[in-house]
Amino acid sequence: MNEGSVKYRLCECMSEEFGKIIGKGFETWKNNINIALPFILDSIFSMLFVGMVGIAVASAIGFDTTAQFFDRLQIIIKSLSEDQEMPVMGTASLLLLIRPYITHLVLSFLIIIIGLFIIRTFFKAGAIGMAKAATERGSTGFADMMNYAKKHVISLLLTDVLIGLFLLVGIVFLLPAALLSPALFSGQDGSGVGILILGIFLWITYMVIITTVLFIAPYILVIESIHPIDAVKTGFGFFVSHKLDMILLLIFTAAIAIVSNLVIGSVPKVGGFLSTFVAIIIVQPLTTLWWVRLYMAKTNKPLYVNELLSHPDDLTNEW
């Protein structure tokens, strides 16, 4: 390579500290604002998909019926927003209106859920791939998004389904309450309700633990190009070795998302739009970059280093 034209190196650096991962990830984001592209496209295609399904359902049940549905729903929502009781007649008329079309509504709901899941997974794979490329070589683009998305969308779907099954296993915590179901709401003994509440609490705790432990598994799948089961196993092993860093990053990113939403969302009139804009353009891309860098740094993957801006200690080992 012509040394006069090279302004960076790929180096295998020693494992970075948490603060450095945050700083370097932010620097990578500043130089690659286009990492927001997958999240923008995800929002656009999701809205288009929901709109298309909505139009299809409206045409199937009739646009007049659809208009009546939203009119009656608006009346109910307005009553609730004014702290009034649920309008019984309005609710009954709404249920009678949609009763003949329950099959259409359930089917459309399932189609929307599955479609949004696929769209989200496709662009999530693309976003992780772009973050990997930017972390590895300092720049990324649309081609990286498409290559990683097309290559890993199916595997990432399977990984998310596998993690979802792990979460579903926690339903066993509700079995004691289910066995007591005949006496659960009899009012004679409060132990049944207590067991139900305890079961729900344990299930939620279990889901939080599983989500935390396997949070990085989807990132590992895209970065390493491995099988979903191997990604879950590697994700578990990574958590065992770097649990403090993972918990810190989870708390840090969650705090940023919550605080930015509360602060920006409180702006009169445009708060909702601004908070969504900031989440898509800044928070989500940054979060993806930090998780990708955390894994790559802790597993000594090649990392991009800008020689013009970096400390000499970052250039110790050329790759």
| Lowest mean pLDDT, pick from 31-45, 92-106, 157-171, 239-253 | 92-106
Q: Which amino acid, 202?
A: L
Question: Within 13 Å and on the Cβ side, how many CA atoms surround 312?
Answer: 0
What percentage of the chain's residues is helix, strand, coil (to nearest 5)? 80, 5, 15
**Residue 168: per-residue pLDDT:** 92
CA dihedral 33, 38, 41, 43 (to 10 degrees): -100
User: Is residue 2 included in any domain, yes or no?
Assistant: no
Structural domain including 293 reads 16-302
User: Is residue 67 included in any domain, yes or no?
Assistant: yes
Question: What is the reported pTM?
Answer: 0.83
User: Is residue 163 included in any domain, yes or no?
Assistant: yes
Bridge partner list, 297? none
User: Is residue 51 included in any domain, yes or no?
Assistant: yes
User: Is residue 175 included in any domain, yes or no?
Assistant: yes
**Residue 89: per-residue pLDDT:** 65
**Residue 191: per-residue pLDDT:** 57
User: Is residue 205 included in any domain, yes or no?
Assistant: yes
User: Is residue 4 included in any domain, yes or no?
Assistant: no
Q: pLDDT digits over 154-167, tens only?
A: 999 999 999 999 99
User: Is residue 157 included in any domain, yes or no?
Assistant: yes
**Look-up: residue for tokens 């339903």?**
171
| Lowest mean pLDDT, pick from 35-39, 126-130, 175-179 | 175-179
Q: pLDDT digits over 8-25, tens only?
A: 444 544 567 889 999 999
In the chain, the number of structural domains is 1
CA 40, chain centre distance (Å) = 14
